[in-house]
Amino acid sequence: MTYAAMAFAILAAILHVYIWTMESLTWKQPNTWKRFGLESQEEAEITSPMAYNQGFYNLFLAVGVIVGAVLILTDKETVGWSLVVFGCATMLLAAVVLVSTGWKYLQAAITQGILPFFVLLFAALSTIS
């Protein structure tokens, strides 16, 4: 179960790095801002500082999860699991918050939250066995 948790953790981190690139690097490009439901370039310009900041939250979570996974795989399991569980729990809770803002965000919330959910599930199962 540990390897399954690590695989999902790395995938969750990669996804959050991708989200960072959209929010912090390509936000003002039409294909990005349309993906986030904005209706105009003007809206993208206005929301750019918020998206830039939000993107870095995603990057920092991803880095924490990656560092945690590396620590787990190098026999520093206690601190590693702490980072992975905290990072993935935060990712999952952010997905819950996202869907709480409206059902139109359900698909995005599922995309954001499904990988961390499986990390937490497999991490819990690995402590049982």
Residue 60 domain-assigned?
yes
Residue 46 domain-assigned?
no
Joined together, the tokens standing for residue 119 give 């990390």
The pTM of this model reads: 0.92
Residue 36 domain-assigned?
no
Please tell me the distance from the alpha carbon of residue 100 to that of residue 37, in angstroms, as a whole number. 16
Dump pLDDT digits (tens) for 20-45. 999 999 999 999 999 999 999 999 99
Residue 38 domain-assigned?
no
Say how many domains are in the chain.
1
Residue 50 domain-assigned?
no
Q: What is the pLDDT of residue 61?
A: 97
Residue 77 domain-assigned?
yes
Q: Residue 6's domain spans which residues?
A: 2-23+56-128
| Span between the terminal Cα atoms of the chain, in Å | 9
Dump pLDDT digits (tens) for 60-76. 999 999 999 999 989 99
Residue 28 domain-assigned?
no
Dump pLDDT digits (tens) for 80-114. 999 999 999 999 999 999 999 999 999 999 999 99
